[in-house]
């Protein structure tokens, strides 16, 4: 199973995502490829014979996370390692999770997150685990290359790979870690921005379309629904950056957005123009957000390495 997932399916799926980002594949192409990967996982999982009895796990994505395929892969890898595991899927609520943890008598909760902008919604998942006295383990690209983000959000542990995760989970069966509270310094401002999220996005769309320097937009760039989706992602990334006081979240997102828009000939809007609009909308009420956006635009514009 580990060879199938780590050497074939995961690299193939990464290539699928890259082709979509470069505009070579449509969303339909990406969905078709993902469906094939999910079918292969289902068949392989049905043939898996557990080699041990290592405990009971619940795996979930944060409420805002829609990318469930990496979590599905981790589910099958851990099942093959001998864990009894239930995957609750994408977009599960923290209320549903809290109830299930108690009913299932889980030994640990695993939170899988791929997109950093969705990290704020992981806080509720980790709090539910703490309330149920269940240790929590975080993993996925969104948590970065160290335990820092997971620790700030209140997780019991972080794992960059399968062997590390298995080692921690085995150790926790006899030596449960202490519960950790969320100590993210930007929680209050992030919460306020999340409450105002829809209003902020609407103001961004209105401000952007009214700007004289935007000019005539073409293709998808002229669509109000497209602009709304892009501003929704930018504001979510700003909120996650503020929550964790981690400018790299917004910088990495700005770079990804710039690359995607640069390679899509249907879109006439540049990433810098979108970021500038959000900066203007947030400048008066959210000074920290404006500062982070300025840094992201400066770095993406080549002002720093």
Q: What pLDDT, in 10s, does the model give residues 247-270?
A: 999 999 999 999 888 877 556 678
pLDDT above 90 (res 52): no
Report which of 170, 146, 140 is spatially closest to residue 71, judged by C-alpha positions.
140
pLDDT above 90 (res 43): yes
What is the spatial distance between Cα 258 and Cα 185, in angstroms, rounded to a whole number? Answer: 29
Number of neighbouring beta carbons within 10 Å of residue 276 = 19
- According to the model, what pLDDT value does residue 265 have? 59
Average pLDDT over residues 60-75: 92
pLDDT above 70 (res 57): yes
- According to the model, what pLDDT value does residue 216 have? 43
Q: Does domain 50-183 have CATH number 3.40.50.280?
A: yes
Tens digit of each residue's pLDDT (9 = 90 or more) over 195-218: 999 999 999 999 998 875 555 454
Domain boundaries, the chain: 1-47, 50-183, 187-300
Helix, coil or strand: residue 240: helix
For the whole model, what pTM was predicted?
A: 0.90
Provide CB contacts within 8 A for 218, sequence distance 6+. 266, 267, 268
What is the rounded average pLDDT for all residues in the chain?
Answer: 89
Q: Token pair for residue 81?
A: 């390692």
Rg (CA), the chain: 20
- According to the model, what pLDDT value does residue 266 have? 59
């Amino acid at each position: 199973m580990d060879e199938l997932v780590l050497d074939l399916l995961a690299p193939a799926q990464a290539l699928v995502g890259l082709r979509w980002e470069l505009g070579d594949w449509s969303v339909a192409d990406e969905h078709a490829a993902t469906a094939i990967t999910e079918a292969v996982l289902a068949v392989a999982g049905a043939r898996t014979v557990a080699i041990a009895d290592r405990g009971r796990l619940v795996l979930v994505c944060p409420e805002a996370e829609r990318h469930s395929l990496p979590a599905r892969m981790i589910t099958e890898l851990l099942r093959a390692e001998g864990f009894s595991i239930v995957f609750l899927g994408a977009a599960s609520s923290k209320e549903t999770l809290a109830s299930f943890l108690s009913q299932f008598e889980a030994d640990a909760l695993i939170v899988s997150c791929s997109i950093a902008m969705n990290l704020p919604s992981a806080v509720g998942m980790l709090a539910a685990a703490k309330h149920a006295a269940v240790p929590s383990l975080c993993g996925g690209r969104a948590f970065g290359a160290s335990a820092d983000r997971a620790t700030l959000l209140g997780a019991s542990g972080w794992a960059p790979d399968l062997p590390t995760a298995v080692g921690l989970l085995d150790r926790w069966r006899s030596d449960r870690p202490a519960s950790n509270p969320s100590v993210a310094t930007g929680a209050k401002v992030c919460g306020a921005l999340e409450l105002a999220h829809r209003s902020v996005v609407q103001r961004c769309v209105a401000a952007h379309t009214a700007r004289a320097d935007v000019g005539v937009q073409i293709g998808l760039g002229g669509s109000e629904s497209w602009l709304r989706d892009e501003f929704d992602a930018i504001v979510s990334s700003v909120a996650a950056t503020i929550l964790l006081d981690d400018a790299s979240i917004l910088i990495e997102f700005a770079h990804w957005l710039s690359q995607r828009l640069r390679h899509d000939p249907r879109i006439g809007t540049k990433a810098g123009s979108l970021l500038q609009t959000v900066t203007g909308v947030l400048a008066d009420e959210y000074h920290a957000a404006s500062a982070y956006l300025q840094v992201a635009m400066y770095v993406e514009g080549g002002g720093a390495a």
